């Protein structure tokens, strides 16, 4: 399963009310490290399909939710379980580290 987009308007339904854990990737087009981890997140989304959902939120197009969660640098990854923030990771990392972090949290 590939990653999908989430917006300020869809955040509650897509993330907070999701029955499965959700990783939110806060990113922007102009962010090099964000673009670097994008393909790894796509692969992880496919590999862990059904166990976790990975969504991307463009911070330039959506300001409300990033402000609510105090996003100061990107990429920031937040993992939500049962509507609550369970884990957070700031900055780019190799696919193996991202996969390990997500697997440990779900």
Which of 6, 23, 24, 34 is labelled catalytic?
A: 34
Of 15, 22, 31, 37, which one is the catalytic site residue?
31
What is the Cα 25 distance to its own chain's centre?
3
User: For the CA atoms of 2, 6, 11, 13, what is the dihedral angle to 10 degrees?
Assistant: -50
88 a catalytic residue:
no
Does residue 106 carry a catalytic annotation? no
Report cis status (omega within 30 of 0) of the bond before 75. Answer: yes
Quote the tokens at residue 56: 């991307």
**Which residues are designated catalytic?**
31, 34
């Amino acid at each position: 399963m590939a990653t999908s987009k989430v917006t300020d308007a869809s955040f509650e339904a897509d993330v907070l009310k999701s029955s499965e854990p959700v990783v939110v990737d806060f990113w922007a087009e102009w962010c090099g490290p964000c673009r670097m981890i994008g393909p790894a997140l796509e692969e992880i989304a496919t590999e862990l399909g059904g166990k976790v959902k990975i969504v991307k939120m463009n911070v330039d197009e959506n300001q409300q939710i990033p402000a609510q969660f105090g996003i100061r640098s990107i990429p920031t990854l937040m993992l939500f379980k049962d509507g609550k923030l369970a884990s957070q990771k700031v900055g780019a990392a190799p696919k193996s580290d991202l996969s390990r972090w997500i697997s440990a949290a779900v």
